[in-house]
Structure 1
């Protein structure tokens, strides 16, 4: 699963505001159109989600899966939020991350999304990369819209 998809977007909000939306898993079904339901299963000592269960309906791929999160972020919201697949029905592997970098004196955020997915059903590498690209691009634009509409 060495191949991955990566894309970046600039969001007109400080990193802490972007991180707040990323960490608000209960609200994902409101802005991430393929996500039907989210449940935080466990939290870390600081209150951040450790393991999160998602129910996904993305047309051909319908799955319920659990991701384990790692929060390497500073107080101002810069850093990396990464995740790895713990369990799933259809997915075989999923590794991803958001990297938040302050721009414009901290008034905006460059958000880079990296994602690698493998499924249990046979799929050509080209089709898998195309699906990853669609997931990444949709997630970035939806997240940008969600953050900027709050301000």
Structure 2
């Protein structure tokens, strides 16, 4: 999983508002395409979600898996801690950079591996679609308030 896909978007909101939406996993099915459920199964010492179980239905890929989260100032990283039937590995992050009091650059990085062999170009295309769709959904959700 050495390759990863990355993309960025500017969102008209301060970092705290964006991190609030990212940490509100229960609302993911409302704005994140393909996510049918996101349940926090463990909180960290800081009160933020530390482990989250996802159920996805993204066309050909249907799965349930658990991600472990680490929150660091203006960002969050995650990795697969309980694999599902389709995903064998996943790492990712959101990194935020405040541009002004009302604008933040958000970079999303993602790397996935599936149990079924998939040519690299198709996997990267799928990652790109996930990243772009997630950033658009996040921006809509944050800017909508």
How far the C-alpha of 1:80 sits from its partner, in A, is 1.9
Q: Secondary structure at the match of 1:45?
A: coil
TM-superposed CA distance for 1:16, in Å, is 0.4
2:134 to 116, 139, 149: 139
- For the pair 1:85 / 2:80, whether they are aligned, the reply is yes
Match of 1:61 in 2: 61
**CA distance, structure 2, for counterparts of residue 124 and residue 33 of structure 1:** 23
1:109 alignment counterpart: 104
| Residue 63 (structure 1) shift | 0.5
Unaligned runs of 5+ residues in structure 1 are 74-78
> How much has 1:46 moved relative to structure 2?
1.6
Deviant stretches of 4+, over 4 Å = none
Instruction: Tell me, in whole angstroms, the C-alpha distance in 2 between the residues paired with 1:37 and 1:19.
Output: 19
Per the alignment, residue 95 of structure 1 pairs with 91
Number of residue pairs matched by the alignment: 144
How well do the aligned residues superpose, as a CA RMSD in angstroms? Answer: 0.6
Matched residue SS, 1:9: strand
2:108 alignment partner, SS class: strand
Question: Aligned partners of 1:62 and 1:23: how far apart in 2?
Answer: 23
The offset of 1:128, in angstroms, is 0.1
Whole-angstrom distance in 2 between the partners of 1:140 and 1:51? 21
Specify the SS of the correspondent of 1:109.
strand
What is the distance in 1 between the residues matched to 2:117 and 2:71? Answer: 32
